[in-house]
Amino acid sequence: MLTAAQKAKSRARQRTRPAKAEATLELTAGDVIAADAEEAPFEPPPLDDIFGCEEAEDDEAPFDPPEFEFEDETGRGFLAVPPPEPPPPVAVAPIATPEPEPQPQRDRLLPAISIFAAYDRPESQALLKELAADPRLARAEMQIARGGIEAALDHCADLYVLDTTLERGPMLAALDRLRAHAPTANVVILGAVNDIALLRDLAARHVSDYIVPPAGADRIARSLCALFEDVEPAHVIAVIGARGGIGASTLAQNLAWVIAERQQQRTTLVDLDLSLGTAAHNFRQSPSAAVRDVLVSADVEQTLTQSLTAVTPRLHLLAAPKHIDALDIPQDAFDELMANLRRTAHFVVLDLPHAWEPWVRTALRDADEIVIVAGPDLASLRNADNMLKLLRSERDRPSMPAVVLSMNELPKRPEIPLKDFAQALKSDPVMSFSFEPELFGAAEADGQTIFEAMPDSKAALQLDTLATMLTGHEPKAPPVLELVTPIQPQSRRQRVARSGFIALQAPLPEKRRSSGLIRAVGAVAALVAVGVWYAGQHTSPNPAPQEAGGAYRT
C-alpha cells in the first residue's frame, strides 16, 4: 500500500506545468571551444564491449575519502584517528646473579715415592709426624729419624725433608756430601737462617725448597705436592696372551704378588679384561668400584684412589666390572687413566685382554716391559710372531718384549720343540712353565698365589726369577704365611712334585710300633688255638667191647 506521502508526490507529478517562454540560443566560437575543453561526464564504453560485459581491470574507488577543511595544530583533521603511539620502554633492572665462588685448587696426591725426614730440633719431630699423617702423602712411604742432614747420608730416598740448625758453611758442606750420595733426589730444607746469599747457594746445589719457620705441616705438604705434580714414576709391566686360555691372567696376578710381597715394592694390579676379568675373584675381593667407574668419572684421580682395593699392604687391585662389559674405551679416557695409575705405585701390572683394540695397542706401545704368554702350539707361535713384529716397529723403548711359554709338557699333546719355537720367533723364551694342573688348580681353588700354596715349587722359583728380570729387584723376604690360609700345626709329609721339587701336602697318618709284651701274648694265643684245632682233628673214638671168652662163633 502507498503511504500518504507517496500519494501526494504522485498527484503532484500528474499536474500540468505551465509552458515557459522559449529563449533564443546564440552560440559563439569561444563557447564551442570551451565546451570541447570540458571533461566528458563519463568515458564511452569500448567498441568491442559496448554493453560492458567484461570486467574492468582497475576499478576506481566508488568515492573519494572526505577532505577536512579544518586542521588542528598537529596538521591532522579533527575526525582523524591518530595512530597509536608506541609505549615508552620499560626500564628493567638487571638481575644480579651471584658469581660462583672460585673453588680452591686441590693439591694432587704425592705419587708412590720414598721420603726420608730428619730433624735437629725437638719441636720439629711433632711437625714431621703431622706431615706424615697428611692424606696427600698416603701413597708415599715416609721414615722419620733424628740427626738432620748427617742422618740422611745413611739412607736412600726419592725425597729428603731435613730440619737443620747448621749455619751457612757447615750446611753447604753437608749438602755437598748428600748430593754426592743421592744425586737425583729432591731435597727440602727446614732452616732457621733467612739469608739471600744462602738461598743462592742452595739453588746452586739443586735444593728444591727452603722453608723458614714458623711453617705448618700444610705449608710443607703443599710444597711437596707442587714438586711432584707432573711426575709419573711407576714402572708399567703389560701382560698379554698370544691366545685365549693360555694362563696370562694367572701369570699377571702371581707376578704382581711376587713384586709386592717378595720384593716389597708397592704394586698396583689392573684387570683390564672388562668382559671376563677374574682378578677380584681369585684374590677373594669384592670391590665397590671397577675400571669403568674410573673411566667415566669427572675426577679420575679421586675416583681411582677410592676404587683401589688393598689385597695386601703393598698390593692394590683395580678390578674389572662384575658384569660383562664392552671392551671399547675412549683413547683420551685411557690415557688419563694410565697417567694417574703411574702415580699410585712403584710398579703397575696390566692384565690385558686377548683383543687388539686401539687402547690395547697403546698400552703395549707405552709400557716399560711387555710379557707375551704363549703355548708350544702353532696358533700361539703365529700370534706371538705377529705381535713381536708389530711391537718392534712401533716401540721406542730399549727393552724388548719377553716371551714366556706356559702349559708346557702337556701329556699326549704334540708340541713344538723349544729350539724350533725360538728359531721361528727369532727370540728365545725367557721362561717355560710346565703343565701342573694340581698345583695351579689347588692355588686357585683356595684363593692363593703359587707362593702362598707351594713356596718351594718350581713354578714359585720361576716367578721369582721372572719378577727380578722385569724389575731389577731381588727378593727381600720369604713368603709371609700370615697373609694366607694358616697351615695346620701338625708336621706335614712332603712328596716329590711332577717338576721334581718338594711340594707340601696333607699330613699322612703315622704308623706306631707295638710293644714286645703284646706281641708275645698274641703269639701264645695263636699257638694255643692252633694246638686245640690240631688235637681235635687227630683224636679217634673208643672201640666197642668184646664178648666173654674172647672166642668167635663159627
pLDDT band at 142 (very low <50, low <70, confident <90, very high): very high
67 has a pLDDT exceeding 80: no
What structural domains does the chain harbor?
114-227 (3.40.50.2300), 235-503 (3.40.50.300)
Show the DSSP H helices in 133-212 as ranges.
148-152, 168-181, 196-204
| Comparison of pLDDT for 408 and 552, the residue scoring more | 408
Segment 17-42 shows an average pLDDT of 54
Query: What confidence score (pLDDT) does residue 143 get?
Result: 94
Give residue 539's pLDDT. 67
Question: Is pLDDT of 114 > 50?
Answer: yes
Write down the pLDDT at residue 24.
56
- HSE, side-chain direction, 13 A CA sphere, residue 365: 12
Residue 547's pLDDT band, with cuts at 50, 70 and 90, is very low
Name which of 267, 316, 258, 317 is nearest 468 in CA terms: 258
With a cut of 60, say whether residue 361 has pLDDT above it. yes
Residue 429 pLDDT > 80: yes
How do residues 296-330 score in pLDDT, each as one tens digit?
988 999 999 999 999 999 999 999 988 887 788 89
Mean pLDDT lowest for which of 6-15, 183-192, 455-464? 6-15
Rounded CA separation 484/451 (Å)? 10
Q: How many CB atoms lie within 10 A of CB 249?
A: 23
Whole-number Cα distances in Å, 242 to 35, 38, 406: 120, 115, 11
Higher-pLDDT residue of 412, 146: 146
Mean pLDDT of 496-501: 42
pLDDT above 80: residue 223: yes
Chain-centroid distance, C-alpha 277: 14
Q: If you average pLDDT over residues 257-283, what whole number do you get?
A: 92
pLDDT band at 500 (very low <50, low <70, confident <90, very high): very low
Average pLDDT score, the chain = 80
Residue 486, pLDDT score:
45
Q: What whole-number distance in Å separates Cα of residue 446 and Cα of residue 187?
A: 46
